[in-house]
């Protein structure tokens, strides 16, 4: 059931869409956001099936069909804006976005990244945490700014790294936490509790200087 005041959200994906699924599941309850479209840059990915199964409109903007990042981002923004979202959620969306795109959605563009930022921006985060002998790893939700994986972090969840871990077992442990923190951050945003003030996230009007930790909430 969708609340009358639920804000429209567009979710961007590139793959399996388990974070999308966590958001779809959250929206089935009393949730202040409604997913109005799921857009993928890759055809035939599992996440598109998840959206269709939930009755959510889908679109594919295939980045291989565009000559430049700018052309792709312009087409992507054109598609997103048809759904007039109040929030755009990157959920395993594996494209670097142009500054023009990011600025167009500044303050209403969230990303999830599988590391405790600022550690390990970019790819292969789990292997890098293992290679460094980290005892703690995790995931971060941040507002997207023009710096790749460098926007201000709102919320994190940590997991222990076990001696017998490989990148897959560690990724699975992190993913479980991702599925908790993304619906929570989207809820805060949709309730108007989470905003971006210049470069600083505000939760309930208070600056989030150090990322909030799920374990402490
Ligand atoms: C997640 O680990 C996310 O943090 C990263 O890519 C993975 C996507 O997983 N950006 P899914 O598509 O949500 O299952």
SS3 content of the chain, % helix, strand, coil (to 5): 35, 25, 40
Residue that is written with structure tokens 């994190």 in the block: 156
pLDDT number for residue 1? 59
pLDDT number for residue 4? 87
- In the structure encoding, which two tokens stand for residue 168, read together? 């897959």
Please choose from 25, 178, 182 the residue to mutate so as to test ligand 1's pocket, defined by most ligand atoms within 8 A of CB.
Answer: 178
Residue nearest to atom 6 of ligand 1 (CA): 92
Question: Tens of pLDDT along 9-50?
Answer: 999 999 999 999 999 999 999 999 999 999 999 999 999 999
Which is nearest to 50 in space by CA: 90, 22, 28? Answer: 22
Question: Tens of pLDDT along 54-111?
Answer: 999 999 999 999 999 999 999 999 999 999 999 999 999 999 999 999 999 999 999 9
d(Cα 187, Cα 62) in Å, to the nearest integer? 30
Please choose from 18, 46, 156, 185 the residue to mutate so as to test ligand 1's pocket, defined by most ligand atoms within 8 A of CB.
Answer: 18
Helices and strands of the chain, counted as H and E runs: 6, 11
Question: Tens of pLDDT along 135-146?
Answer: 999 999 999 999
pLDDT number for residue 2? 77
- Which atom from ligand 1 is nearest to the alpha carbon of 21? 13
Q: Ligand 1 pocket: which residues have CB below 6 Å?
A: 13, 15-19, 47, 91-92, 112-114, 139, 175, 178
Question: Tens of pLDDT along 115-132?
Answer: 999 999 999 999 999 999
Determine the average pLDDT of the residues in 176-193: 98
pTM: 0.97
Determine the average pLDDT of the residues in 189-215: 97
Residue nearest to atom 8 of ligand 1 (CA): 92
Q: Any catalytic annotation for residue 179?
A: no
d(Cα 120, Cα 150) in Å, to the nearest integer? 10
d(Cα 168, Cα 68) in Å, to the nearest integer? 33
Least confident of 132-136, 145-149, 192-196: 145-149
């Amino acid at each position: 059931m969708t609340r009358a005041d639920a804000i429209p959200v567009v979710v961007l994906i590139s793959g399996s869409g388990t974070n999308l699924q966590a958001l779809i599941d959250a929206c089935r309850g009393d949730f202040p956001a409604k997913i109005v479209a799921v857009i993928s840059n890759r055809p035939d990915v599992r996440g598109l099936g998840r959206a269709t199964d939930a009755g959510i409109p889908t679109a594919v903007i295939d980045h291989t069909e565009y000559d430049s990042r700018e052309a792709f981002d312009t087409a992507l923004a054109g598609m997103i804006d048809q759904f007039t979202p109040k929030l755009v959620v990157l959920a395993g969306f594996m494209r670097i976005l142009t500054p023009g795109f990011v600025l167009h959605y500044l303050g209403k563009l969230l990303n999830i990244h599988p590391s405790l930022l600022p550690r390990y921006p970019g790819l292969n985060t789990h292997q890098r945490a293992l290679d460094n002998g980290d005892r703690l790893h995790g995931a971060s939700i941040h507002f997207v700014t023009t710096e790749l994986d460098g926007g201000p972090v709102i919320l994190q969840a940590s997991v222990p790294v076990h001696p017998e871990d490989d990148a897959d077992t560690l990724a699975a442990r992190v993913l479980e936490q991702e599925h908790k923190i993304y619906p929570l951050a989207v809820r805060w945003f949709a309730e108007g509790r989470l905003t971006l003030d210049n470069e600083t996230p505000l939760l309930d009007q208070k600056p989030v200087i150090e990322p909030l930790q799920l374990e402490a909430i």
